[in-house]
């Protein structure tokens, strides 16, 4: 998910005021106190302020008032954003939290957490000063967000694209002025160098083919803007390669203090770094033993006269698990066939979810696409839903193509990791009944604010949980190889959580991380090498899969105990997804009628 972490009826422009009217009307019955009324005004003001904080981000969530503007990323822009967040922090501090409705208690807590996180990111973490990738992604998203979905007439979107392209030289100058080369990690520059040409690719594939949709004056303007943008991208590429890369001497490891604070904002969970590590290490042993038990069955079916020791050591288990996994690795997609296979498996998984009555299946449109170039280099796949204000637009399940420069061995390593059964698992996670289904249902919740402030652990944890549900329900006729592959993928979520903190806090080396992933997690070399890069480029996000899954599993057990004989999968899943995508702890409180937890006081 975009993380990786959705919908389409042609609805034209959706404006904030219209949405807020719907929001306030739909929650009017809940706003019975002066505190609720004050918070409703505050939430409306926050949504109204979003385009001023980041026009590009506003486009991505479906607020199209500032589609012709690019973010101001200089000191003046940062100070303006800081002042806005400080004002919302002050207003939130005046609320009488105890008299808010339960729904508003959650939204207020989410908003305060977002405000505090944003201020911390600006003032302490200061990624704007050392990560050139954020500017490349903003530039690419500024055009991709306009052109990927038909939320407005093509001519309108092209004219706004022209306006943004005209601002690109200013934007990149500000970005270069913000960056402190001594703080920039080399890996971040190298990845930015790979991604930056992706903006030219977007121009060539999304803008140039549509020039004929414009009247002559508007076309001439866009053509001139495209030339301006090409020059700006080339100039920025030269700066990245010739000036920034040789001077980039920053440390990619963020250290314990920054990691712990960022972890609190990312997870919004009662689990501490130490508790996460202990849970992950315990699950690591449990899952490997489960894999051995299944692998032994698979091996015995192939070699019926085999005998197995009563107490095998880890080396023996390793051999048997690898031997069983080799059977899955014989079922490989074509090098350029992953997208087509994923389409087939999406239809298959959708039919299974309906047949087993696992959860309500939405009808919002989804399309499987090749990942845009400016987004590559971090993950193999992600789900790109439309913003919560862009009702009726498509969800994209994006898959990265294999790099052209890979040799035969690297291609083989990748395809073994993403064998046909793994693509089944990937599709369950990203689409059905994973991110696509979860976000489509969750975004029906009437609070736009809650949709904007969605929780990464809830979304990613649901993706991992959704895989497990499908296996437990007997997907692919309870194929033991499918179960083994699913456990391998869960083991990946576990090792993600381990290396996330081990690398950034404990100084884990590349060799130690690769050994854990390849030997401990049974990952192929290409997958592990890519994850090492991703772990350097990000921090705390890799923990969201495991922590979110643990919280979803804990919540389900608690609800099963509370509901008893009245528990059904369909009822549970539909209700769990009916509250939007806040942190799991809030959904648990709603489902079990517990006190709403507070994260920031």
Q: Is the pLDDT of residue 548 over 90?
A: yes
Burial class (CB in 10 A: 0-12, 13-18, 19+), 300: middle
The domain limits of the chain are 13-125, 276-326, 338-591
Structure tokens at 167: 């601002």
Q: Is the pLDDT of residue 470 over 70?
A: yes
pLDDT for the residue numbered 45: 97
Q: Is the pLDDT of residue 217 over 80?
A: yes
More confident residue, 160 or 403: 160
DSSP for residue 65: T
Provide the b/e sequence for 342-358 (b: ≥16 CB within 10 Å): beebbeebbebbeebeb
CA distance 23 to 34: 17
| Helical H segments across 359-443, by residue range | 408-417, 420-430, 435-442
Q: Confirm if 204 and 252 have CB atoms less than 8 A apart.
A: no
**pLDDT (tens digit, 9 = 90+) per residue, 111-149?**
999 999 999 999 999 999 999 999 999 999 999 999 999
Distinct helix (H) and strand (E) counts, the chain: 27, 3
pLDDT for the residue numbered 387: 85
Biggest distance spanned by C-alpha atoms of the chain: 80
The torsion angles phi and psi of 446, rounded to 5 degrees, stand at -70, -20
**pLDDT (tens digit, 9 = 90+) per residue, 318-343?**
999 999 999 999 999 988 888 899 99
- Strand ordering across the sheet containing 395-399: 366-370, 395-399, 381-384
CB atoms within 10 A of CB 511: 9
Burial class (CB in 10 A: 0-12, 13-18, 19+), 533: middle
Calculate the average pLDDT of the chain: 92
Which among 213, 202, 216 is positioned nearest to 165, based on CA atoms?
202
Of 86-95, 103-112, 369-378, 480-489, the one with minimum mean pLDDT is 369-378
Structure tokens at 116: 């505090």
pLDDT for the residue numbered 96: 94
pLDDT for the residue numbered 377: 57
Q: Confirm if 122 and 52 have CB atoms less than 8 A apart.
A: no
CA distance 549 to 542: 12
The torsion angles phi and psi of 399, rounded to 5 degrees, stand at -125, 130
pLDDT for the residue numbered 12: 28
Which among 370, 354, 364 is positioned nearest to 436, based on CA atoms?
364
Report CA dihedral (482, 487, 493, 495) to the nearest 10 degrees: -130
pLDDT for the residue numbered 601: 58
Structure tokens at 135: 């500017």
> What does each C-alpha distance from 190 to 234, 237, 512 come to in angstroms?
16, 11, 23
Q: State whether residue 368 is helix, strand or coil.
A: strand
CA distance 410 to 424: 22
CA distance 329 to 98: 56
Could you tell me what percent of the chain has a pLDDT over 90?
Answer: 83
**pLDDT (tens digit, 9 = 90+) per residue, 440-463?**
999 899 999 999 999 999 999 999
Query: Region 83-112: what's the mean pLDDT?
Result: 97
**pLDDT (tens digit, 9 = 90+) per residue, 30-79?**
446 799 999 999 999 999 999 999 999 999 999 999 999 999 999 999 99
Q: Confirm if 497 and 508 have CB atoms less than 8 A apart.
A: no
Provide the b/e sequence for 203-235 (b: ≥16 CB within 10 Å): beebbeebeeebeeeebebbeebbebbbebbee
Could you tell me what percent of the chain has a pLDDT over 70?
Answer: 93
**pLDDT (tens digit, 9 = 90+) per residue, 353-373?**
999 999 999 999 999 888 887
């Amino acid at each position: 998910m975009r993380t990786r972490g959705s919908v389409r009826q042609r609805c034209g422009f959706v404006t904030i005021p219209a949405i807020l009217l719907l929001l306030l009307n739909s929650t009017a019955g809940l706003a019975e106190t002066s505190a609720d009324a004050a918070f409703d005004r505050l939430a409306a003001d926050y949504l109204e302020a979003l385009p001023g904080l980041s026009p590009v981000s506003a486009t991505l969530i479906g607020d199209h008032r500032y589609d012709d503007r690019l973010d101001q990323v200089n000191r003046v822009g940062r100070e303006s954003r800081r002042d806005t967040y400080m004002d919302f922090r002050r207003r939130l501090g005046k609320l009488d939290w105890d008299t808010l409705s339960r729904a508003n208690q959650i939204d207020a807590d989410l908003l305060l957490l977002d405000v505090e996180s944003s201020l911390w990111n600006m003032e302490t973490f200061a990624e704007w000063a050392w990560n050139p990738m954020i500017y490349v992604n903003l530039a690419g998203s500024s055009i991709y967000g306009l052109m990927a979905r038909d939320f407005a007439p093509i001519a309108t979107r092209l004219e706004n694209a022209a306006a943004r392209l005209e601002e690109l030289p200013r934007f990149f100058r500000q970005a270069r002025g913000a960056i402190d080369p001594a703080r920039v990690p080399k890996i971040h520059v190298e990845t930015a160098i790979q991604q930056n040409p992706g903006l030219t690719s977007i121009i060539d594939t999304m803008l140039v083919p549509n020039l004929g949709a414009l009247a002559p004056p508007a076309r001439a303007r866009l053509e001139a803007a495209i030339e301006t943008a090409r020059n700006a991208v080339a100039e920025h590429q030269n700066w990245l390669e010739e000036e920034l890369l040789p001077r980039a001497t920053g440390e990619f490891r963020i250290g314990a203090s920054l990691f712990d604070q960022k972890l609190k904002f990312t997870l919004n969970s009662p689990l501490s770094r130490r508790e996460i590590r202990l849970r992950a290490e315990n699950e690591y042993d449990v899952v490997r033993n489960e894999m051995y038990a299944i692998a032994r069955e698979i091996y015995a079916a192939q070699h019926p006269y085999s005998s197995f020791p009563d107490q095998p050591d880890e080396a023996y288990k390793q051999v048997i698990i690898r031997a069983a996994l080799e059977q899955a690795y014989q079922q490989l997609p074509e090098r350029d066939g992953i997208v087509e296979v994923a389409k087939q498996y999406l239809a298959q998984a959708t039919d299974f979810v309906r047949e087993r009555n696992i959860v309500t299946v939405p009808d919002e449109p989804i399309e499987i696409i090749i990942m845009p170039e400016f987004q590559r280099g971090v993950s193999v796949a992600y789900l790109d839903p439309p913003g919560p204000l862009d009702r009726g637009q498509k969800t994209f399940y994006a898959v990265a193509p294999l790099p052209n420069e890979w040799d035969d061995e690297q291609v083989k390593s990748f395809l073994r990791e993403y064998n046909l059964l793994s693509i089944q698992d990937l599709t369950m996670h990203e689409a059905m009944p994973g991110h696509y289904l979860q976000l489509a249902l969750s975004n029906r919740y009437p609070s736009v604010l809650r949709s904007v402030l969605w929780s990464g652990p809830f979304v990613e944890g649901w993706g991992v949980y959704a895989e497990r549900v499908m296996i437990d329900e007997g997907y692919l006729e309870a194929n033991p190889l499918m179960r083994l592959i699913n456990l391998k993928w869960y083991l990946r979520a576990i090792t993600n959580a381990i290396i996330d903190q081990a690398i950034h806090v404990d100084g884990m080396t590349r060799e130690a991380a690769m050994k854990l992933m390849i030997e401990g997690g049974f990952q192929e070399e290409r997958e592990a090498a890519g994850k090492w890069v991703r772990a350097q480029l990000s921090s705390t996000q890799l923990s969201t899969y495991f922590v979110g899954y643990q919280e979803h599993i804990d919540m389900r057990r608690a609800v099963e105990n509370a509901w008893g004989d009245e528990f059904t999968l369909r009822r549970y899943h539909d209700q769990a997804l009916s509250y939007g995508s806040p942190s799991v702890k809030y959904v648990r409180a709603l489902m079990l009628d517990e006190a709403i937890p507070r994260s920031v006081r």
